[in-house]
Structure 1
Amino acid sequence: METIEAPTREELVHRASDLIPLLRKNALSGEEDRCLPQETVEALAGSGILRMRVPHRYGGYESDMRTVVDTLAELARGDGSAAWTASVWAISSWMMGMFPDEVQDEVFSDPDVRISGIISPTATARKVPGGVVVSGKWAFNSGVRHSSWNTNAAILVGDEGQPQPVMLAIPVSDLTVVDDWHTAGLRGSGSVTTVAEDLFVPQQRVLPMGPVLEGRHLSVLNADSPLYRTPFMPTACATIAAPALGLAKGAKDVFFERLPGRKITYTAYESQQEAPLTHLQVAEATVKIDEAEFHAHRAARTVDTKGAAGEEWTLEERARVRLDLGAVTQRAKEAVDILNTASGGSSVYSSVPIQRIERDVQTLNLHAILHPNTNLELYGRILCGLEPNTVYL
């Protein structure tokens, strides 16, 4: 496939900005259906945004992490579920680039292919001639209904050696989808459960997870790309920081859209925008959004800089990216909380976006990898000279 010239960061962010009205329009129906509307998916694909982490040789852009973060954050200003799903597709497309080149040739025969993925090894695989047989289930499989492939983790067990985690490239058509995504937030992401029952996976689609976490892979043609000279967790963490940042920016957008002409009921304030309380609220929320953006950009800059240089990562650098992720998530929630509190009783109607943004950002804060307290503790352990208490670093 002929390579194409990749759009600049400004061009991709502009494309994302152009989608905001459509994303907002479709967000409510996405919540009600617990899945992204087809119109939203087609718009994302048509914009080229889903090609950001696809290799050049398949028509992808190989966008740097700062571009990915800014573009996904812009999508989240319109719909957190759409941005979260796009971030999962971006990570999983990058992950597919670590598989052997012949597997990539199959998967990326369509440069707009959508790949979802789960890194929690909640299935079991056993060796058989020519590959493995896997059984188990993967919850929180965001975007899988609109995906053709899954990169899913499993524990490989056998007669020889210790059990080891592996990543598997699986066609979604080989999996059973369980419609169980009944949640308070990110409802449009359609993060349902998928199940494999005695499913054969060819050996070339089996990727040991240990080397992946260290940034080593089986692709020959991607070996010199800066994108594939970084470990998995810093790459994934920098990516999924973006939806939280964008949700906070979106909360500020919709708050100011509703502000003109609003009163503060049961007070003498005929205009909310004239109340000193409002001035304090919007200023504090803005500072927190700025802080969230600082951490999102620092994580992206670290990934880009070290990937371009091909440098080894220290434990502290790895843990700091997770710290940045937790800080983005926490500061974003704090900003949204302030703006939601200032939005008044009428904001509880489902037609008012701020209540959805509040629920979406709360859901992100509960995610095991994004959870601020977990990431603070991990970074603190490293600073105190202790070993990390996780391999997801």
Structure 2
Amino acid sequence: MVGTRRGGRSMNASPEKQCPVSHTAAATWDNLSPLLVEIRARRNEFGPAQEIPKEIIDGFRRIGIYRAMVAKRFGGEERTPAEFCRQIERISEADGSAGWVASFGDGARYLAALPDDTLRKVYANGPDVVLAGALFPLQPARRCAGGFVVNGVWPFASGSPGADLIGVGIKLEDDPAGDLPRVAVIPAEKVTIRPNWDVIGLRGTGSHDVVVSDVIVPEQWTLIRGGPATLDGPIYRYPSVAFAAQAHAVVGIGIARAAIDEVIAMAGSRASITGAPVMAERGYVQLEIAKAESMLRSARSFFYEATEELWKQALTGGVNLSTTMQVRLAATNAARQGAEVCRISSGLAGTEALYTSSNLARAMCDSFVVAQHAALNEGTLQSAGLALLGTAIQPGFP
């Protein structure tokens, strides 16, 4: 087996050590622009490297992406879902792969389902813990005296080269959680990454296979995906599975915004080699760019409207299934409309979008991959339709 052991900081610090809340959190969060400049300058490196460089991941740590959803008692900031998504959207405008990896800052919401004692160990060295994950296919694990013996291979572990912790999906005989997936959370140094992320879009996400061989995971380091959080507060009442879908979908919104802006920037000066008028003077360009702009703004408005509605319910403790379903529908719509906007934008650019170095070519491929994600694909539309019609919905939705 060819692979590498990769990992971030050690998770073995004393569980009693607490990190105080940063008094410069707001200033750090707002200081994203210099990092975006660096991402734009280096984005052509990400695909060939098949990962986001450590310096960029460290930049995400500095500005607070990975502490955004962490409890304040652990030094985190407990940002709202809309605040978090807007930051991921901005990063994705600079580069889709960078935005996708940053979106895993939502992982703190998943980790909140771990026992309190385990969370104190997770955040013993501070709140900026990077979680990557590969849930499916669920691999069988067996019980032992120390917890569970975990073995298996999981594909699509986005961001795994820069992670501190990696979660993998396991199944147990007679699991009291029933059919809900159980996630084993493992220090990254105990996981082998098998580099094989050879795809057409989001090439820099490092979504390689991860391999686990006879690792004993204590039961208190496992959680139920979609299960209740052990922490209290509005962000921990906000549904984790729906939030994960949103964090991915908003990447597509950012990519599409950049694609439209790219076309607008070139339209006033780019002439045709055939002697046709510059792009901005062509009627079909005028029509299609207007359609693309309205599609994107409509999808984005639905996305944030549904987010705010669900957040209001989380604030009062009364999150309901119907509103959660609307969030899932809005996320899927955003991803799919974003991909269509990128297709339109690339078509308007003509031969300019054919080059592998083209920003529009990258946007088209990246947005296509976003819309193919299991949480955002055609099947989620069908599940939303079933829910709207009052029919039994698929397991795991919304």
Q: Taking structure 1 as the reference length, what is the TM-score of the superposition?
A: 0.90
Q: Judging changes above 3 Å, is the alpha-carbon distance between structure 1 residues 19 and 339 closer, same or farther for their aligned structure 2 residues?
A: same
Give the distance between the partners of 1:91 and 1:280, measured in 2 at CA. 37
Q: 1:243 aligns with which of 246, 251, 268?
A: 251
Unaligned runs of 5+ residues in structure 2 are 1-18
Cα shift readout 1:88-131 (whole Å, capped 9, x = no counterpart): 2x221221122112211222123222111233352221211231
Q: 1:3 aligns with which of 21, 24, 27?
A: 21
Aligned partner of 2:107 in structure 1 is 92
Give the distance between the partners of 2:219 and 2:349, measured in 1 at CA. 55
Aligned partner of 1:57 in structure 2 is 73
Aligned partner of 2:395 in structure 1 is 390
- CA displacement at 1:163 relative to structure 2: 6.8
- CA displacement at 1:281 relative to structure 2: 1.8
SS across alignment from 1:86: helix
Q: Judging changes above 3 Å, is the alpha-carbon distance between structure 1 residues 163 and 61 closer, same or farther for their aligned structure 2 residues?
A: closer
Give the distance between the partners of 1:19 and 1:160, measured in 2 at CA. 45
- Asked if the contact 1:186–1:363 (Cα under 8 Å) also holds between the matched residues in 2, the reply is yes
Give the distance between the partners of 1:161 and 1:205, measured in 2 at CA. 15
Unaligned runs of 5+ residues in structure 1 are none
1:283 aligned onto 2:290: yes
- CA displacement at 1:6 relative to structure 2: 7.4
Amino acid at match of 1:354: L
Give the distance between the partners of 1:299 and 1:178, measured in 2 at CA. 38
- CA displacement at 1:350 relative to structure 2: 2.8
Give the distance between the partners of 1:174 and 1:80, measured in 2 at CA. 29
Amino acid at match of 2:347: T
Aligned partner of 1:76 in structure 2 is 92
Q: 1:321 aligns with which of 312, 327, 341?
A: 327
Aligned partner of 1:303 in structure 2 is 310
- CA displacement at 1:250 relative to structure 2: 1.1
Cα shift readout 1:255-277 (whole Å, capped 9, x = no counterpart): 223333201332431x2212222
1:259 aligned onto 2:267: yes
Aligned partner of 1:40 in structure 2 is 56
Aligned partner of 2:184 in structure 1 is 168
Give the distance between the partners of 1:164 and 1:299, measured in 2 at CA. 25
Give the distance between the partners of 1:206 and 1:133, measured in 2 at CA. 12
Cα shift readout 1:165-222 (whole Å, capped 9, x = no counterpart): 3121111111111111111100000001111122100121122x2xx525x13x3xx2
- CA displacement at 1:229 relative to structure 2: 1.1
Give the distance between the partners of 1:118 and 1:69, measured in 2 at CA. 21
Q: 1:144 aligns with which of 140, 157, 160?
A: 160
Q: 1:189 aligns with which of 205, 218, 221?
A: 205
Aligned partner of 2:12 in structure 1 is none
> RMSD of the TM alignment (CA)?
2.1
Cα shift readout 1:324-350 (whole Å, capped 9, x = no counterpart): 111101111111111110112123223
Amino acid at match of 2:372: L
Give the distance between the partners of 2:110 and 2:39, measured in 1 at CA. 26
In the alignment of these two chains, the number of paired residues is 379
- Asked if the contact 2:51–2:206 (Cα under 8 Å) also holds between the matched residues in 1, the reply is yes
- CA displacement at 1:299 relative to structure 2: 3.2
- CA displacement at 1:361 relative to structure 2: 0.2
Give the distance between the partners of 1:49 and 1:134, measured in 2 at CA. 30
Aligned partner of 1:293 in structure 2 is 300
Amino acid at match of 1:100: P
Aligned partner of 1:378 in structure 2 is 383
Q: Judging changes above 3 Å, is the alpha-carbon distance between structure 1 residues 337 and 26 closer, same or farther for their aligned structure 2 residues?
A: same
Give the distance between the partners of 2:33 and 2:336, measured in 1 at CA. 24
1:228 aligned onto 2:236: yes
Give the distance between the partners of 1:383 and 1:133, measured in 2 at CA. 42
- CA displacement at 1:164 relative to structure 2: 5.8
Q: Taking structure 2 as the reference length, what is the TM-score of the superposition?
A: 0.89
Give the distance between the partners of 2:50 and 2:110, measured in 1 at CA. 26
Structure 1 runs of 4+ with >3 Å offset: 5-8, 14-18, 158-164
- Asked if the contact 2:313–2:319 (Cα under 8 Å) also holds between the matched residues in 1, the reply is yes
